């Protein structure tokens, strides 16, 4: 967490001050060394045990409870323009905007396909996409859970929240990671047969089209996503797949 931060610099001092303020407010000892290295007597892990590499190395203090959607499942609403057409959702998250060239490649990738598309472009300029077919809805952001409930495939940056939400709804992922954490998530998706991974610099409509088609046509990812969703607790794997 502190790698690359100058111990005498303002960023380090600010982080230390935040820890001191937390310690004072809640009456618990808490310093920089505690931010990443201390496990308490009970630790809730909001991913399925199956998704965590080397999960067997975690002892009884760790309980894998799976993703928590909170109230968003009840409060977010969205409906596709055509409820009968297959839906592709494209989003690279809300923290860093994706390059316009990538979004243009997504548009071109499905131009001759029957997909309707929910395309989230963050702060990218809508005009930079060029002509967009009418069956594509472009927004700065979508209510993600409401879209994933209806999606058949998801082109994603593979942030952990997005991955867990896609697993919850049994949606296969075409992962286009842009950070080390996202790359680790994407690798795990591939290992578990939950999706495919493309290079972050991909602006090839052909590569995107092929990956989307494979994920959407493979019955395995949705089935395995449902398995992860239903068996998210420490008892993952106790039940046969056909009962998950």
The per-residue pLDDT for 197 is 96
Residues with Cβ within 8 Å of 120's Cβ and at least 6 positions away in sequence, in order, are 89, 90, 91, 92, 139, 140, 141, 142
The H helix count followed by the E strand count for the chain is 9, 8
Lowest mean pLDDT among 87-101, 127-141, 206-220, 223-237: 223-237
Asked whether the predicted pLDDT for residue 222 surpasses 70, the reply is no
pLDDT tens digits along 167-206: 888 899 999 999 999 999 999 999 999 999 999 887 899 9
Helix ranges (H only) for 59-143 are: 72-75, 100-109
Asked whether the predicted pLDDT for residue 124 surpasses 90, the reply is no
The per-residue pLDDT for 184 is 94
Are the C-beta atoms of 132 and 106 separated by less than 8 Å?
A: no
Are the C-beta atoms of 162 and 144 separated by less than 8 Å?
A: yes
pLDDT tens digits along 71-82: 877 888 899 988
pLDDT above 70: percentage of residues in the chain? 87
């Amino acid at each position: 967490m502190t790698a690359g931060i100058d111990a005498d610099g303002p960023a380090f001092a600010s982080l230390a001050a935040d820890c001191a303020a937390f310690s004072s407010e809640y009456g618990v000892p808490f310093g920089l060394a505690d931010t990443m290295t201390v496990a308490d007597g009970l630790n809730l892990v909001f991913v399925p045990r199956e998704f965590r590499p080397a999960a067997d190395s975690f002892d009884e203090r760790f309980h894998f409870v799976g993703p928590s959607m909170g109230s968003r499942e009840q409060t977010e609403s969205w409906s596709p323009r055509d409820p009968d057409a297959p839906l592709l959702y494209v989003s690279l998250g809300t923290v860093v905007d994706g390059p316009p060239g990538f979004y243009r490649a997504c548009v071109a990738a499905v131009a001759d396909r029957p997909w309707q598309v929910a395309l989230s472009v963050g702060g990218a300029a809508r005009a930079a996409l060029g002509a967009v077919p009418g069956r594509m809805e472009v927004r700065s952001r979508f209510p993600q859970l409401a879209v994933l409930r209806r999606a058949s495939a998801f082109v994603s940056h593979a942030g952990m929240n997005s991955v867990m939400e896609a697993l919850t709804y049994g949606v296969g992922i075409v992962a286009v990671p842009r950070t080390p954490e996202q790359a680790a998530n994407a690798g795990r998706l591939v290992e578990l047969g939950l999706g495919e991974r493309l290079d972050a610099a991909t602006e090839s409509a052909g590569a995107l089209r092929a990956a989307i088609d494979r994920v959407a046509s493979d019955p395995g990812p949705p089935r395995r996503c449902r398995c992860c969703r239903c068996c998210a607790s420490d008892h993952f794997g106790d039940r046969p797949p056909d009962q998950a």
